[in-house]
Amino acid sequence: MSKLRIFACILLCAVMLFSSCTYSEVTGSEFARIFLADICNMDFSSAYKKVNESTKNTISQDEFVALYNQIIEGLSVESISYKFISQQESINTTVFKYELTYHSTFAGEITDEYRLCVSKGQNEKWCVLWSPSLILPEMEYGATIKTSRILPQRGEILASNEVLATNIYTTALSVVTHEKTDEELDSIATEIHRLLPDLPKDKILTQMKEKSYNGVALIREFFPNSLSDELKDKLSEINGVRIERSSVSTVRYYPHSTMLSHFLGYVQSPTEEEIENLNSALGEDDWKYDNSSKIGMSGLEKVYEKYLRGEPGYSVYLSSKDGVRLRTLYSEPAKNGYDIQLTIDFELQQRTEELLQNILIDEEDMTGAVVVLQPKTGDVLAAASYPSFDLNMFVRGITDSEYQALQNNNALFNRVLQGRYPPGSTYKVFTAAAALNYGVLSKDYVFTGTIVEDYWTPTEYGPWIWPAIKRATVKRRETPLNMRNALLHSDNIYFANAALMLGDDRMIEFWNSLGLDKAIDFELPVATSQYKGNEERHYKYLADSGYGQGTMLVTPIQLAATYCAFANGGSIPTPHIIDSICEMQGKDYLTVYQTGTTLWRENAIHRNIINTLLPMMKDIMSSEYNGTGQRLKVRSCVAAGKTGTAQIGGDDSHEISWIVAFRTGVDAKDERLVLVMLEIPNNDAYSEFKFTIARELLELKDNE
């Protein structure tokens, strides 16, 4: 039989023994035990009847019972027991010392030492000289049991051990709203708005009236040093306003401001609708979102919200009537969010964004996207969309004018994942691969059609009612017009003819075999590329598709991944930017999830075709030949790839300028593929930009 059961039996016998006696007939220690039996049986109403009259004048029976029940409910107490220590008895007074233990379902045993005094009144009856300290030693009248939430720290996002998203302590502006009238709150809001004009008065009032917690409303959190000392002093002079100069809470912070802004995303407070939608997807016992929450609104912050968010802990404590914490009874630590480790090479990413910024910053009508991949694993080593934006603007509180400026500049648009552009001549290697795959052309096929001043009008497809096919004028054009020389000079005529010979069905079939008919898998949403739209097809569209125009559209991320086939034995890897998900367990930093290499399309291009085309792609990028990529001039390795240009706009004032190039003949750890897409004015003065970016990113030394 357990000790607890033995004790209960003894207690029951004692109660039965004394039930037949009047309280004046028992000793003081026996009366103390009877009172404690009521407490242990949680019969607080009966216990109340045994307290002295002065106590009953101070606290009612209902209040007495409620005070004890705070402990029972606040700590989920299953049982109460006590252990005798000593006693001092006289004729009219007894001091009974004991240990009382609350057995809590989650806090375990909460044990304290107590002194219970009983005395005989004028009626010769024993009574307990009671005070709240008999519930808990620190308890006083007006004290309550409270539970506070311990918020977790949001997990960090890192790349190459460099922190890209973290949490920093803030300066908090709050207002004590307890017992303040609407007129007083209105006056406070007016004064705050006068000193902080960008903070609307109605928003301040809403925070004070609807989002106050324990009589205090948080108005705004400020980044460190964003409020001057003078402004802090002026705000502090307003009745009820508090400026917490110590570390009170944290906000999300992006140390590198614009780096990977389109991929990291940002956090903000959710709307009521967002709170409702988020909570509807949670389990019954999950930590729910509320008005004080911060959630990932875009990018990885949004997609990995459940990992980054963490789980709160809580603290059960005894609070004085003035809100002073008298004693912590139980504390469950918060579980911080998981960290997200990216595949990004920090130095490479930094240089990628610097190059885009430095080259394009002075040009109003220029945008761009860069993707750097490890061609065998699909690791995203760098990715940038230009223009970018400072993620901290959203955390600090972006103004309407700032947001409108970002919208006008289309700076929030992720061109790497969501931009769809005609691939232009970068697609010619795939047209060549399709022609070889279906046996329509051999590598030695020579085009012998009639070309007049770089124009060709097809004659084998009925009356050609569309504009003739035009190719770029090339000085020192190598002959004959076979596959190698057509790729070298990026000859539209050769590949228009190849597409016409293949036909739409086989062009579409090969496009689909590369996985271009579906949005490529990625941690963030990717737009779906397009071979054709809803237009009625004709031969000109087919011919244009041979050199990547017409109705073709691709995303930079998917085109880069598709090009990896030439460096990966014909297989297309699935690109990914998440390397692993990690957490701290004690002093150990552990990986809880590791991303592996997967293939988007296995053996999409036959190895024999790769072996045929790869030497041609090297020649394109070689300075020894008069190819379209000769200006790349990578010194650290032999590069292979393809350039491309696609006209956009009704007046052809702008063009999409592409280069895709990758290292060859290097160790597997040093392999790297770079895609650059720039939307630039149709002017030769800008044609060098893509080579400058690609060259440096291919040459940049790998991190060891």
Residues 310-342: tens digit of each pLDDT: 999 989 999 988 778 899 999 999 999 999 999
Residue 395, domain member (yes or no)? no
Do residues 106 and 172 both lie within one domain?
no
Do residues 332 and 476 both lie within one domain?
no
Do residues 218 and 94 both lie within one domain?
no
Residue range of the domain that includes 686: 424-699
pLDDT tens for 586-615 read 889 999 999 999 999 999 999 999 999 999
Do residues 136 and 263 both lie within one domain?
no
**Burial of 605 from C-beta contacts in 10 A (0-12 / 13-18 / 19+):** buried
CATH number at residue 212: 3.90.1310
**Alpha-helical regions (H) of 281-339:** 299-303, 305-308
Do residues 328 and 436 both lie within one domain?
no
Per-residue confidence (pLDDT) for residue 12, from 0 to 100: 46
Residue 125, domain member (yes or no)? yes
Per-residue confidence (pLDDT) for residue 225, from 0 to 100: 73
Boundary-marking domain end, from 289, 306, 338: 338
* DSSP characters over 50-94: TB-HHHHHHS-HHHHHHHHHHHHHHTTEEEEEEEEEEEEE-SSEE
pTM (two decimals): 0.83
Of the candidates 520, 595, 594, the one whose C-alpha atom is nearest the C-alpha of residue 564 is 520
Reading the block at residue 229, the tokens are 């000392």
528: DSSP letter: P
pLDDT tens for 507-527 read 999 999 999 999 999 999 999
Sheet holding 654-664, edge to edge: 380-386, 367-373, 673-681, 654-664, 638-648
Per-residue confidence (pLDDT) for residue 363, from 0 to 100: 66
> What is the distance between the alpha carbons of residues 159 and 553, in angstroms, rounded to a whole number?
31
**Burial of 258 from C-beta contacts in 10 A (0-12 / 13-18 / 19+):** buried
Give the pLDDT means over successive 10-residue stretches in the chain (704 positions).
46 44 73 97 97 94 95 94 95 95 95 96 88 95 89 94 92 86 92 91 89 80 81 90 70 93 94 91 88 91 96 91 89 94 98 94 84 98 96 86 90 97 97 98 96 95 94 92 97 98 97 98 98 91 96 97 97 98 92 96 98 98 95 94 86 88 94 96 88 96 60
Do residues 108 and 208 both lie within one domain?
no
CA dihedral 194, 196, 200, 205 (to 10 degrees): -80
Into how many domains does the chain fold? 3
Do residues 16 and 91 both lie within one domain?
yes
The structure tokens 């004046």 sit at 24
Residue 494, domain member (yes or no)? yes
Sheet holding 588-594, edge to edge: 250-253, 162-169, 157-159, 339-342, 578-585, 588-594
* 8 A C-beta contact, residue 258 and residue 349: no
CATH number at residue 520: 3.40.710.10
Tell whether the torsion through CA atoms of 448, 486, 512 and 517 is positive or negative: negative
Boundary-marking domain end, from 288, 322, 338: 338
Backbone dihedral angles phi then psi of residue 302, each to the nearest 5 degrees: -85, -50
Boundary-marking domain end, from 284, 318, 338: 338
CATH number at residue 55: 3.10.450.100
Do residues 512 and 637 both lie within one domain?
yes
Residue 497, domain member (yes or no)? yes
